[in-house]
Amino acid sequence: MPTSFAAQINSVMAALILLTAFGLLTQRRILGLLNLFAWQGLFLGVSTAIVGYVTGVHHLFISSILTLTLKVVLLPWILYALIRKLNIKKEIETLVNIPGTMLIGIALVIFSYHLTAPVTQLSTLVTKSTLAVALATVMLGLLMMVTRHHAVTQIIGFLAMENGLFFAATSATYGMPMVVELGVALDLLIAAFIFGIFFFHISTTFDSLDVEQMGKLKEGD
């Protein structure tokens, strides 16, 4: 595969990652959020493998396999099991309406391109064109966390933000050291189990995972 063609495919993967980030902002059904998160993990894993092929950095292939295993299979499965256990079916409310959230998201993307423009102009890396998308993905994940009431959707936003950070590391430096990536993968897996136990206890105690309702309970005390 020619390097230029591989770089083009990587740009397509970056566009799809950004598209799924916007999808996470607009999606109000919890299962739809899980599906979009899994697709984002798939695109991220493919992008990582392409960068590993183009640059010859072989540990990126291991990172790609870890990403596909953890973020396409394990984490969505754990969250799906949690959703079924807690019987979460209703649509998720947002602090800002969907059109307003989209406008904020577009503004964050424009800001990301403006912020990374000097770095992109000086960089000689094959992945320099995807750095702005990676930063935008981080910001959109953070936006999702602050505009959702539901605790589970905030965790999905956190995981999407971590996807953006991993993508940024791949775009800026061809990935983190293998030991660091293994540590992060293990931390995410352990955190998913802890969040599952934590949410289950909250749901059984307060009969809700709505952060706003839990805040009202605290104020009432």
pTM (predicted TM-score): 0.80
Q: What mean pLDDT is predicted for residues 44-69?
A: 86
* pLDDT of res. 74: 86
What band does 40 get if pLDDT is binned at 50, 70 and 90? very high
Residue 117 has pLDDT above 70, yes or no: yes
> Which range (9-18, 139-148, 188-197, 201-210) has the least confidence?
201-210
Domain boundaries defined on the chain: 3-220
* pLDDT of res. 20: 95
Query: When comparing pLDDT for 198 and 119, which is higher?
Result: 119
- Per-residue tokens: 30: 């919890």
Residue 178: partners with Cβ closer than 8 Å, 6 or more residues away: 59, 62, 63
* pLDDT of res. 10: 83
Q: What mean pLDDT is predicted for residues 48-68?
A: 85
Query: When comparing pLDDT for 88 and 15, which is higher?
Result: 15
